[in-house]
Amino acid sequence: MSAAITTNQQQDRKAASRRQAIAMMFGCTILGAAGQILIKLGANTLTHTTSPLAMLTNLPVFSGYVLYGLMTVLFVFAIRDEELSILYPVISLTYVWVAGLSAMVFHESLGWLRIAGVATIMAGVGVLGRDGKK
């Protein structure tokens, strides 16, 4: 009986670890999308003759890259204990958030083709993220 309990406990720990990894990857998508929006906000203020130093001192651009750095750190922790092929498709949700945020922040059009693309990405994440072992 103790072997069954141990097996159940191991399965519970594995499931909790997987949920945590997926949550971290989801956080990566939010950080990545926010970083893209900040970089675009900063890029809108740059001129064609802007130097790399001026980009580094542009607060929105710099903040966007800081978020990218945080995303990378979180990504490393997320993939440490889970299959990359299961987690990595979640990163494509960044495109979903960027499309929505771009429409809200920059008033970019979100026509039916983009909406169809977003739906396709979301469906793909659902399919690719499923564990084939179950």
99-111: average pLDDT? 95
91-101: average pLDDT? 94
Alpha helices, H only, 44-110: 52-56, 59-79, 84-87, 93-105
Taking the CA atoms of the chain, what radius of gyration do you get in angstroms? 19
Residues 22-71: pLDDT tens digits?
899 999 999 999 999 999 999 999 887 778 888 888 999 999 999 999 99
Report the pLDDT value the prediction gives residue 113, as an integer from 0 to 100.
95
In a domain, 5, yes or no: no
Domain that holds residue 66: 12-128
In a domain, 83, yes or no: yes
Helix axes 112-128 and 93-105, enclosed angle (nearest 10): 150
pLDDT band at 18 (very low <50, low <70, confident <90, very high): confident
With 60 as the cut, is the pLDDT of residue 73 above it?
Answer: yes
Query: What domain count does the chain have?
Result: 1
In a domain, 112, yes or no: yes
